[in-house]
């Protein structure tokens, strides 16, 4: 009887589960069919010209009369030109002139020869527990705000091996100009030394220097410190970008690109970093304490070239740069704001509306970038849904989000924080594999500001993911508010075994690690 009852209950259980299982199978089959329909549509649109060319070619071959007339016309034309050498010479010179004009007016190709990311020494590592302990020893933060910082760290996506400058790891901390200069020199010279070792470029060959650091801009400037240390030539073009936030790295790339268009046969050195020694917040305003928990020590150096002879040894070619600035809107302008708190302590306040502002900036940016990079199939779908919603007022039609995975193989999203990465993963419909470089960079190195994009690209290289022809989209956000993009095309397959001075190589086999997703804390 017991067995019979068990079998009866089992039968009831199966009967209740069966419809759910069938529904899941049905939904799975439906999604597979839709996937193949979309792939078929994409293939059809992408190869439309080739598909139409075949019947046209077939028609031409079968049209004997047409072919005969064409050959006769060509023969007659040659016979006429045979007796008019002046016309032939003039036409030839005109064609040469047009060709020369065309090639001279084309923009110069910009190559990324190589880049290097600074990796601090092991004694600069700071665990989450050490961070909270050091904060507590200052005697400045209230008990509630110490707990607040601890919770932020637990939910931030940062791991246990991020780096802090020496001045902030002392008891008590010693934030002063001398220590800030020491941090800047350590990061900048460390990254540039590694880059020069990688590329073999001599310092006298560097004609353009762009340095960006948002919150630390001493006199003489950071760029002058590099000129002095490496004894760069007297006519080097120097630029020092300050106060432009975490997206300044791509602004530096864009600036160098513009300069390389008008200065032939040149190298451009870009150094991207942030300095936190003098920008540690010693107060109890929670909107300013968040930046203490996220920002860490780091920097990168990048070498660009417009020399055609450098193509064979360069890693990437710069395809597009797109810059978006929402500073005209007061709400966007003030969402990341450096100011004094009620007690006179200076800090960077982050608004609760930061994610909404970033989302709007991203939409504007991809509206410009999309037509430059997306295949025609995605552009047609986007235009169709836009017309349906805006012109035909069909409110039931959902806004179409283009599939950027058809345009790019790799994504480097600024590791500003876990909430930023979660939002972009959702909005761009990216997979965990696509988000892995950004999440692992945040976990291992923290928010290194404008240099985080290069730690992410270095991660993809260390994993052996970069293949010749692959396209990489770098996306960065910064105060102001700005959203900037850069698109790179790999000129060769990157062999991770041959990589030197890659900050990931010694520990890449331990990644990826699992970073649990938790709900963010409200300020």
Confidence grade of residue 104 (pLDDT, cut at 50, 70, 90): low
Marked catalytic residue, from 212, 292, 447, 484: 447
Marked catalytic residue, from 117, 126, 213, 246: 246
Q: Tell me how far apart the terminal alpha carbons of the chain are, to the nearest angstrom.
A: 61
In a shared domain, residues 118 and 88: no
Confidence grade of residue 432 (pLDDT, cut at 50, 70, 90): very high
- pLDDT of amino acid 23: 56
Marked catalytic residue, from 306, 325, 365, 501: 325
- The more confidently predicted of residues 58 and 455 is 455
Average pLDDT over every residue of 258-272 = 97
**Is residue 255 pLDDT above 60, yes or no?**
yes
**Is residue 246 pLDDT above 80, yes or no?**
yes
Which of 81, 105, 129 terminates a domain? The answer is: 105
For the chain, what is the domain count?
A: 2
Alpha carbon 482 to its chain's center? 13
Per-residue pLDDT tens digits for 465-505: 999 999 999 999 999 899 999 999 999 999 988 888 899 99
In a shared domain, residues 353 and 371: yes
- Reading the block at residue 90, the tokens are 């003039």
Of the candidates 321, 197, 303, the residue with the CA atom closest to the CA atom of residue 247: 321
Of the candidates 456, 136, 473, 118, the residue with the CA atom closest to the CA atom of residue 296: 118
In a shared domain, residues 89 and 179: no
pTM (2 d.p.): 0.83
In a shared domain, residues 241 and 275: yes
In a shared domain, residues 101 and 119: no
Location of structure tokens 């910009």: 110
* 52 found inside a domain: no
Phi, psi of 336 (to 5 degrees): -130, 110
* 289 found inside a domain: yes
**Is residue 42 pLDDT above 90, yes or no?**
no
In a shared domain, residues 92 and 223: no
Q: Which of 15-24, 338-347, 449-458 has the highest mean pLDDT?
A: 449-458
Confidence grade of residue 183 (pLDDT, cut at 50, 70, 90): very high
Pick from 94-98, 150-154, 316-320: least confident: 94-98
Residue 246 designated active-site: yes
DSSP class of residue 139 equals S
CB 501 within 8 A of CB 190: no
| HSE value, Cβ hemisphere, 13 Å, CA-based, for 132 | 15
Which of 105, 139, 157 terminates a domain? The answer is: 105
Residue 42 designated active-site: no
Q: Which of 1-15, 183-197, 354-368 has the highest mean pLDDT?
A: 183-197
Positive or negative torsion for Cα 14, 15, 20, 23? positive
Pick from 87-101, 138-152, 246-260, 340-354: least confident: 87-101
How big is the chain by its Cα radius of gyration, in Å? 29
Of the candidates 506, 488, 505, the residue with the CA atom closest to the CA atom of residue 496: 505
In a shared domain, residues 238 and 204: yes
Marked catalytic residue, from 117, 285, 306, 414: 414
Residue 414 designated active-site: yes
* 253 found inside a domain: yes
Whole-number Cα distances in Å, 62 to 54, 66, 72, 321, 393: 12, 9, 17, 48, 49
The CATH number assigned to the domain holding 293 equals 3.40.47.10
**Is residue 50 pLDDT above 70, yes or no?**
no
- pLDDT of amino acid 396: 75
Marked catalytic residue, from 293, 410, 484, 501: 410
* 185 found inside a domain: yes
DSSP class of residue 279 equals G
- pLDDT of amino acid 140: 92
Per-residue pLDDT tens digits for 451-460: 999 999 999 9
In a shared domain, residues 116 and 101: no
- pLDDT of amino acid 237: 98
- Reading the block at residue 388, the tokens are 């349906």
In a shared domain, residues 93 and 195: no
Per-residue pLDDT tens digits for 282-318: 999 999 999 999 999 999 999 999 999 999 999 999 9
Residue 447 designated active-site: yes
CB 508 within 8 A of CB 206: no
Q: How far apart are CA 331 and CA 328, in angstroms?
A: 9
Q: How far apart are CA 459 and CA 500, in angstroms?
A: 13
Confidence grade of residue 15 (pLDDT, cut at 50, 70, 90): very low
- Reading the block at residue 372, the tokens are 């430059």
Average pLDDT over every residue of 73-100 = 68
- pLDDT of amino acid 357: 93
**Is residue 154 pLDDT above 70, yes or no?**
yes
**Is residue 66 pLDDT above 50, yes or no?**
no
* 73 found inside a domain: yes
Domain with 83 in it: 63-105
- pLDDT of amino acid 176: 94
* 488 found inside a domain: yes
Which of 105, 135, 169 terminates a domain? The answer is: 105
Q: Taking all residues of the chain, what is their mean pLDDT, rounded to a whole number?
A: 86
- pLDDT of amino acid 88: 67
Of the candidates 418, 411, 417, 416, the residue with the CA atom closest to the CA atom of residue 437: 411
* 3 found inside a domain: no
CB 402 within 8 A of CB 369: no
């Amino acid at each position: 009887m017991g067995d019979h009852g068990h079998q009866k209950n089992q039968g009831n259980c199966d009967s209740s589960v069966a419809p759910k299982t069938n529904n899941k199978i049905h939904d799975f089959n439906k999604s597979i069919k839709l996937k193949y329909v979309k792939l078929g549509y994409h293939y059809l649109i992408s190869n439309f010209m080739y598909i139409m060319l075949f019947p046209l070619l077939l028609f031409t071959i079968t049209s004997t009369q047409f072919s005969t007339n064409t050959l006769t016309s060509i023969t007659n034309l040659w016979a006429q030109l045979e007796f008019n050498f002046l016309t032939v010479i003039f036409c030839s010179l005109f064609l040469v002139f047009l060709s020369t004009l065309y090639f001279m007016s084309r923009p110069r190709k910009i190559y990324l020869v190589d880049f290097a990311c600074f990796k601090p020494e092991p004694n600069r590592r700071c665990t989450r527990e050490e961070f909270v302990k050091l904060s507590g020893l200052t005697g400045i933060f209230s008990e509630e705000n110490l707990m607040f910082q601890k919770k932020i760290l637990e939910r931030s996506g940062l791991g246990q091996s991020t780096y802090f400058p020496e001045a902030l790891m002392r008891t008590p901390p010693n934030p002063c100009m001398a220590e800030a200069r020491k941090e800047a020199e350590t990061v900048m010279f460390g990254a540039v030394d590694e880059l020069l070792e990688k590329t073999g470029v001599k310092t006298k060959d560097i004609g353009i220097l762009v340095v960006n650091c948002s919150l630390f801009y001493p006199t003489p400037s950071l760029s002058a410190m590099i000129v002095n240390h490496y004894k760069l030539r007297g006519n080097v073009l120097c630029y020092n970008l300050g106060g432009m936030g975490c997206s300044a790295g791509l602004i530096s790339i864009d600036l160098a690109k513009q300069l390389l268009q008008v200065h032939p046969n040149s190298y451009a050195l870009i150094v991207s970093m942030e300095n936190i020694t003098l920008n540690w917040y010693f107060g109890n305003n929670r909107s300013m304490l968040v930046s203490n928990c996220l920002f860490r020590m780091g920097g990168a150096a990048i070498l660009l070239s417009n020399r055609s002879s450098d193509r064979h040894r360069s890693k990437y070619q710069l395809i597009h740069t797109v810059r978006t600035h929402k500073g005209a809107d007061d709400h966007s302008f003030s969402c990341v704001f450096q100011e004094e708190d009620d007690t006179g302590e200076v800090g960077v306040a982050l608004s609760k509306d930061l994610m909404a502002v970033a989302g709007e900036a991203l939409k504007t940016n991809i509206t410009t970038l999309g037509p430059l990079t997306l295949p025609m199939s995605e552009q047609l779908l986007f235009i169709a849904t836009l017309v349906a919603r805006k012109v035909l007022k069909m409110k039931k039609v959902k806004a179409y989000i283009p599939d950027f995975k058809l345009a790019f193989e790799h994504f480097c999203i600024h590791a500003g924080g876990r909430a930023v990465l979660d939002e972009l993963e959702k909005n761009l419909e990216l997979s965990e594999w696509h988000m892995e470089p950004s999440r692992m960079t945040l976990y291992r190195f923290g928010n290194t500001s404008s240099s985080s994009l290069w730690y992410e690209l270095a991660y993809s290289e260390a994993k052996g993911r970069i293949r010749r022809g692959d396209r990489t989209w770098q996306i960065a956000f910064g105060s102001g508010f700005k959203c900037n993009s850069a698109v790179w095309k790999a000129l060769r397959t990157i062999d991770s075994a041959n990589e030197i001075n890659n900050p990931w190589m010694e520990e890449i086999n331990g990644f990826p690690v699992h970073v649990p997703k938790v709900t963010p804390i409200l300020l």
